Structure 1
Amino acid sequence: MQPWSTDGGDTVYISETDGDRGSKGPFLVAYESRDTERRYGWFCANCESLDNAMDSMGRIKCNECGNFRKPTEWDAAHE
């Protein structure tokens, strides 16, 4: 686990093994503490940012570099 400081001055812990593939680089899981009980959010390894958004279908998009993860759930009604 790698410690990382947020813009607000808090420390979160980035997992180097738990994450998902993105279009430009992996999204790694960020936790509130080393014990990994509570997730903080996603860390974009491409631009080293915690500024990411996830929608209800599991898509993740980095607001800094545009790194993108495809949805984990799919609903054919959206075609």
Structure 2
Amino acid sequence: MQLEAIRTAEGETVYVDYADGEKGSKGMFFVAYVSEDGEERWGYFCGNCETTDNAVDPMGRIECNVCGNAKKPDEWDAAHE
């Protein structure tokens, strides 16, 4: 696994895996890790606008707070709406 170091808006360094991602409505969401060894997940990096400012919910929905790129939930239950 080859990870690329990026800096978040808060100044943290996280490591993005461009080979591991989820398809969004406007682009991919790539998995980001706390360290270069890829042991601990940090969150997601929006491939559309290149930000880490994303929201994730327990059903697997991901939405970029900057550009609106969105991934639908992994599970669907009408009771959650």
User: Structure 2: which 5+ runs fail to align?
Assistant: none
Asked whether the equivalents of residues 8 and 51 of structure 2 are also in contact (C-alpha less than 8 Å), the reply is: no
Match of 2:62 in 1: 60
Match of 2:13 in 1: 11
**44-53 vs 5-14, which deviates more?**
5-14
Letter in 1 for 2:54: N
Report the Cα offset of residue 58 of structure 1: 0.9
Report the Cα offset of residue 77 of structure 1: 3.3
| RMSD of aligned Cα (Å) | 1.3
Counterpart pick for 2:27 among 20, 25, 28: 25
Render the CA deviation track for 1:15-35: whole Å, top value 9, x for unaligned. Answer: 010110000000000001111
TM-score by length of 1: 0.92
Letter in 2 for 1:17: A
Partners of 1:66 and 1:31 lie apart in 2 by 22
Aligned length: 79
Partners of 1:78 and 1:63 lie apart in 2 by 21
User: Structure 1: which 5+ runs fail to align?
Assistant: none
2:74 counterpart of 1:72: yes
Partners of 1:29 and 1:2 lie apart in 2 by 11
TM-score by length of 2: 0.90
